[in-house]
Amino acid sequence: MSRALILVDVQNDFCEGGSLAVAGGADVAAKISAYVEDHHEEYSAIVATADWHDDPGAHFSAHPDFVDTWPTHCRIGSDGALFHPAAEKAFEHVEAIFRKGHHSAAYSGFEGFTVEADHRASLADWLRDRAIEQVDVVGIATDHCVRATALDSAEEGFETTVLLDLTAGVARETTDRAVAELRAAQIELRGTPVVAPA
């Protein structure tokens, strides 16, 4: 079966020093690079997703609740929206980038699009066009965009695995809840997510 690897939102704003930093994000970015260097030949395709916000409405808040509203992050053209330099080696193998959230929250990579030959392609269509049947998901954050991307991957009919050792979660409670939800959706889980102590 053809397998793809999805790198979810390995961006500066989600790593230490960013506006919405996840503890362990930079370390996970480096581990993803090492993993891709060692395993890229096992994948038929490697792609990445990125938050790419212009005016996402209530997703941004001056007084965020960190559940539905968040500090400003990953604005188009900002340094925070760039991929973290620790993941640079991984991106040498990335074939397409799916940007999401121009005017919405857009947690799932399956809400993103890439531009190919002057037309927009969704992640699901792009994978199907390449006869991908299995998907591995890594990135930031376990309890938000990784969770949403993996759930949508399974919903789209791909056999889905989350490599938890290559993910970082915002908080223990929400990460544990996300892992339980992924398991209930019959998504294969390998490893343990990085998450800051409560």
pLDDT in tens, 25-57: 999 999 999 999 999 999 999 999 999 988 888
Model confidence pLDDT, tens digit, residues 92-129:
999 999 999 887 878 899 999 997 767 789 999 999 99
Residues across the chain: 198
Element spanning 96, H or E? strand 96-100
Is 100 in the active site? yes
Quick one: CA torsion of 83, 87, 93, 96, rounded to 10 degrees?
-20
pLDDT band for position 58 (cuts 50, 70, 90): confident
Higher pLDDT, 195 or 85: 85
Model confidence pLDDT, tens digit, residues 149-184:
999 999 999 999 999 999 999 999 999 999 999 999
Q: Where are the domains of the chain?
A: 3-195
Catalytic residue (choose from 13, 15, 31, 100): 100
C-alpha to C-alpha distance for 24 and 14, rounded to whole angstroms? 10
Decide: pTM greater than 0.85: yes
What pLDDT is attached to residue 128?
Answer: 97
Is 9 in the active site? yes
Q: How far is CA 148 from CA 16, 50, 106, 135, 180, in A?
A: 22, 13, 9, 14, 13
Residue whose tokens read 């889905």: 160
CATH 2.60.40.2550 is right for the domain spanning 3-195 = no
Is 145 in the active site? yes
CB 119 within 8 A of CB 101: no
Helices (H) and strands (E) in the chain, counts: 5, 9
Catalytic residue (choose from 31, 51, 145, 152): 145
Model confidence pLDDT, tens digit, residues 14-27:
999 999 999 999 99
Structure tokens given for 74: 């990953």
What pLDDT is attached to residue 197?
Answer: 65
Element spanning 126, H or E? helix 123-129
